[in-house]
Amino acid sequence: MQTPDKLIGFIGLGVMGKPMSLNLINAGYSLLVLDILAEPIKELVAAGAKAADSPAQIGEKCEVIFTMLPDSPHVEEVVTGKDGILAGTRPGSIIVDMSSIAPLVARKLANIAAEKGVKMLDAPVSGGEPKAIDGSLSIMVGGEEEIFKQVKNLLLCMGTSVTRIGDIGSGNIAKLANQIMVAIHLSSLAEAMVFAEKAGVDPEKVYHAIKDGLAGSAVLNAKMPLILERNFKPGGPIRMHTKDLINVRDTAFAIDAPIPLTTQVMEFMKALKVDGRSEDDHGGLIQYHEKLAGVQVRKK
């Protein structure tokens, strides 16, 4: 069981990782942190963390190490690279990768870690920056149940819903399933509201009319107010959601799973990248539908 007096490692202090780290500090835990950028490290040190020189140093000094990185190659490098976590870890250590990566990569890394007596969980999150800040993320975990029990209290510092799905890789399968549903829902939201706008009906009134019915959802309630204000500041940028859908595509190909709707929405997102919108929030997907219709959905 991890206790506050033992150092916890945290690598990756970006939009999600920084507030997640701060929540661990606010819960009373001692952190050793690392990022490729100096500024978030300074912020975490000011909040009480210590700065590390390399992933290997974190592996050497910490029994539990969290990673929150952009994609599979970054996680592979941080875990197995020359100065990676495994270069410093001791048997019995636990790596919890909270990045959204390809499930097959999570399984491969867990097998490599096991050769050194190190356990690994994949624990991607859903909720975006706002829920990372307030500690209410949904966390989907894959890996051995006994290892999950050892770190569950730590995960509960960062999320209110922490669920073990199954074996290693299943956390990322759950996250990709989540991303499929969010992407398709965002597109259907966009299509419906552009339809209303094109018909000359106020989309805001349509939103209020349907939000408590069967079509209502967390996606609708989170994104529609921002769309009406034309606020596409990223909580979850289109660029990152596209990355997740590419991982869906690759995994679906490997297991022969059909994903016709996901493939179509991924192409919508790629079109927005060409238009220079890849850093917009994924709610900005509506701009693809608006362009087709020649209208704009906004507050009247």
259 φ, ψ to 5°?
A: -140, 55
**Cα gap 94→88, rounded to integer Å:** 12
For 30-93, the DSSP string reads: EEEEE-SSHHHHHHHHHTT-EE-S-HHHHHHH-SEEEE--SSHHHHHHHHHSTTSGGGT--TT-
CA 213/CA 81 separation, integer angstroms: 50
State both tokens at 143: 């890996």
Determine contact, residues 172/100, Cβ cutoff 8 Å: yes
**Paired strand residues for 10:** 33, 66
Angstrom distance (rounded) from CA 180 to CA 61: 38
Active site residues: 175
Give the whole-angstrom CA distance, residue 263 versus residue 277. 19
